[in-house]
Structure 1
Amino acid sequence: MRMSRKIVAVLAAVAVAVLLPSPAQAHGQLAFSDPVDRSTLTEPRESVRLVFTEKPNPAAYFTVKAPDGTRVDHGWSGGEPKPLPSPVQELTLRDGNWEPQLYKTGFPAVIPVSHWPQTGVYTITYLSVASDSDKVSGEIRFDYQGKITAAPAGWQPPTNQPDPLLLGQTAPPQQPAASGNSVTVSATAPAEPDSPTWPYWALAGLVAAVAVGGVLVHRRRTAR
């Protein structure tokens, strides 16, 4: 009986470990956005901003889409690094161990918006690669309820696609971003594979099935 309980406990622990993200996936992420996610914007503006804990990769890819899916972005540029409103904790690899590190400086990506053709929910998407080769991606959605503005003369929605470097999670060389908090990123951090040979969800399902089977067998033996 004790042995069965130990087996079930070990299997459950393995399942949890499989489902938890790798610490390496926590580096170089979005600190905050302007406008913030799920907020309402009531005035048109010339650009939106995404602020990261390190300088965005030169090949980073950003889009801003109107409610009907039309893109209204046109390029992006890096803004002046500034202190974050509140420090962001991430994990840094030091001497083979993942240690918590507070990041106090934010590095903006400024994305110009050509015009505001509709009211409704706009979506900002971002795709980049951190300096340790981890993928950085996500989206911000906000409700625009401001004045409708016309497109610039000769405007054509952009059709560019992400750089293959981003899709392959291979970061081109870049200079370390200057920071006032003396935070450095280890160059020895291992790159995470884009898609593991054995999918995590399948492995977790197998472990869970084995655990459930062990419990059922134990109950049948006890019932006897």
Structure 2
Amino acid sequence: MLRMRRLLALAAAVALAVIMLPAPAFAHGQLALAEPANQSTLMEPRAQVALYFTEKPASFAFFTVTSPDGVRVDQGWTHGEPKPLEPPVQELNLKDGKWEPVFYRTGFPAMVGVSHWPQKGVYTVQYMTVASDGDKVSGTVRFDYQGAPVAAPAGWQPPVNQPEAALTGGSGNHTAVAQASTPAAQPGSSSSPSPWLIMVPAGLVLAAVVAWRRRRSVGAR
């Protein structure tokens, strides 16, 4: 009975591992790099937050920067100068039934203005854009500002603009962040787990259970 329980526990572990296998990020135009980086600490005020994507953000993309007390401090955005991505980031494309890696070596920025830094604490950057394949791309970057507070400009009012319907309606949102290629996969190879990596361990566990039950049946005769 103890051995049976161990086999069943092993089968459950295999099943759990299969369920938790990460799905590949397949949409284009994902966020590749943020300055300040997600979960980082910023010690000095800066005029802009830079978000670098694997494709140029749509002209109607939407960005916000929210202070720790929930007040928006973003001040519009512009396209900036592209920069090399080191290391390059990888996205996966489904081609002929196989996930094939595509490497992006250039980041295309959205430079989001910050009007002021009213207090220390966690600031939240939200982004919404549309990739060239039509999928909506959205996500959040958070960082901890520990620099000196900076007062708001004279006459400043928190922005109240909202994203366009093209960014909020319909389906197909993707929030996956492109991953740095470490190490780089070989071109043309599949980065998704092979079905055999799933089937073989499960089959071995099943065979062990069947063999144990047969031996137990023979011994009981």
Which range, TM-score by smaller chain? Answer: 0.5 to 0.7
Q: Which residue of 2 aligns with 1:80?
A: 81
The one-character-per-residue Cα deviations of 1:151-194 (angstroms, maximum 9, x if unpaired) are 111111111112110112589xxxxxxxxxxxxxxxxxxxxxxx
Does the Cα contact within 8 Å between 1:89 and 1:103 map onto a contact in 2? yes
Report the 3-state secondary structure (helix = DSSP H, G, I; strand = E; otherwise coil) of the residue aligned with 2:26.
helix
Deviation at residue 83 of structure 1 after TM alignment: 1.0
Q: Which residue of 2 aligns with 1:129?
A: 130
What is the rounded CA distance, in whole Å, between the counterparts of 1:23 and 1:142 in structure 2?
A: 24
Deviation at residue 85 of structure 1 after TM alignment: 2.1
Deviation at residue 98 of structure 1 after TM alignment: 3.6
Report the AA paired with residue 23 of structure 2: P
Does the Cα contact within 8 Å between 2:24 and 2:92 map onto a contact in 1? no
Report the AA paired with residue 44 of structure 1: P
What is the rounded CA distance, in whole Å, between the counterparts of 1:93 and 1:133 in structure 2?
A: 16
What is the rounded CA distance, in whole Å, between the counterparts of 2:25 and 2:40 in structure 1?
A: 29
Q: Which residue of 2 aligns with 1:112?
A: 113
Q: Which residue of 1 aligns with 2:194?
A: none
Q: Structure 1: state its 5+ residue gaps.
A: 172-214
Report the 3-state secondary structure (helix = DSSP H, G, I; strand = E; otherwise coil) of the residue aligned with 2:72.
coil
Q: Which residue of 2 aligns with 1:89?
A: 90
Q: Which residue of 1 aligns with 2:202?
A: none
Does the Cα contact within 8 Å between 1:66 and 1:116 map onto a contact in 2? yes
The share of aligned pairs that are identical, in percent, is 59
Report the AA paired with residue 26 of structure 2: A
What is the rounded CA distance, in whole Å, between the counterparts of 1:169 and 1:74 in structure 2?
A: 27
Runs of 4+ with >6 A deviation = none
Does the Cα contact within 8 Å between 1:79 and 1:108 map onto a contact in 2? yes
Q: How many residues align?
A: 172
Q: Which residue of 2 aligns with 1:63?
A: 64
Q: Which residue of 2 aligns with 1:39?
A: 40
Structure 1's 148 and 141: CA in aligned 2 closer, same or farther, altered over 3 A?
A: same
Larger-Rg structure: 2
What is the rounded CA distance, in whole Å, between the counterparts of 1:121 and 1:112 in structure 2?
A: 17
Give the structure-1-normalised TM-score. Answer: 0.65
Q: Which residue of 1 aligns with 2:23?
A: 21
Structure 1's 169 and 18: CA in aligned 2 closer, same or farther, altered over 3 A?
A: farther
Does the Cα contact within 8 Å between 1:127 and 1:136 map onto a contact in 2? yes
Equivalent positions of 1:129-148 (< 5 A) are 129-148=130-149
Deviation at residue 23 of structure 1 after TM alignment: 4.8
